[in-house]
């Protein structure tokens, strides 16, 4: 892939990531208590923004890592430090206890700050399954549905960090324009700046 082709691919992947975030926030505002597609949209926004960042730094694709994002993230982190934005192994293990086994008994939810990490781990680990709600063996991806009106804070931190690797003024303007077409009330641009760091 030559430089021109690479820039076109990065632009397209980055725009798709922004579109997933836009749709996720739109879903949250349309159904403040939650929506079944929020995790699927959020997971794909992370996947595409991570891949755009890796393309930006010319990192080679990791074989067999289509939806396994953790090795890709750590490869990016070695090139350019991303900070404390990726769930830990403990968060990935906790999502299995909380989301998958929740139907067996009453689920005890951790405090919101910890729950955001666990939910992010759930989304990242199930990108390919969240669209259907089942895995390839027809097992339910989750027996737990969490409803809250805010956007997951850990998702926002991770998305903003990944996006900072490849964002351009043109990309920022495009995303702002999408939001401003829908949210025209005073103060919405300030809210968008706070939400996505634009």
* Residue 155 structural domain: 3-196
Q: For residue range 29-50, what is the model confidence (pLDDT) as tens digits?
A: 887 666 778 888 999 999 999 9
Q: Percent of the chain having pLDDT more than 70?
A: 87
Q: Considering its fold, how many domains does the chain have in total? A: 1
Report whether pLDDT(110) > 90: no
Report whether pLDDT(155) > 90: yes
Confidence at residue 107, expressed as pLDDT on a 0 to 100 scale: 65
* 86, 113 contact by CB (below 8 A): no
Q: Is 153 helix (H, G, I), strand (E, B) or coil?
A: helix
Stronger pLDDT, 165 or 79, i.e. the higher one: 165
Q: What is the pTM for the complete model shown?
A: 0.88
Report whether pLDDT(187) > 80: no
Cα-based distances in Å from 38 to 1, 11, 42, 90 = 34, 23, 6, 23
Q: Which residues pair with 140 in a beta bridge?
A: 134
Confidence at residue 197, expressed as pLDDT on a 0 to 100 scale: 72
Confidence at residue 148, expressed as pLDDT on a 0 to 100 scale: 76
Q: Is 171 helix (H, G, I), strand (E, B) or coil?
A: helix
């Amino acid at each position: 892939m030559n430089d021109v082709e690479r820039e076109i691919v990065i632009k397209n992947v980055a725009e798709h990531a922004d579109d997933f975030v836009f749709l996720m926030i739109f879903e949250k505002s349309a159904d403040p208590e939650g929506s079944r597609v929020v995790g699927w949209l959020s997971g794909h926004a992370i996947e595409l923004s991570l891949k755009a960042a890796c393309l930006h730094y010319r990192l080679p694709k990791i074989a067999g890592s289509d939806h396994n994002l953790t090795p890709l993230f750590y490869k990016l982190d070695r090139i350019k430090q991303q900070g404390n934005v990726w769930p830990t192994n403990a968060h990935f293990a906790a999502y299995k206890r909380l989301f998958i086994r929740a139907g067996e008994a009453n689920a005890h939810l951790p405090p919101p700050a910890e729950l955001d990490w666990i939910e992010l781990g759930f989304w990242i680990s199930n990108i390919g399954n969240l669209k259907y709600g089942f895995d390839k063996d027809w097992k339910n991806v989750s027996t737990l549905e969490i409803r809250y009106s805010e956007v997951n804070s850990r998702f926002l931190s991770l998305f903003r960090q990944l996006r900072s690797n490849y964002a351009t003024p043109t990309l920022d303007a495009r995303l702002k324009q999408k939001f401003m077409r829908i949210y025209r009330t005073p103060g919405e641009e300030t809210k968008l700046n706070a939400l996505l760091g634009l």
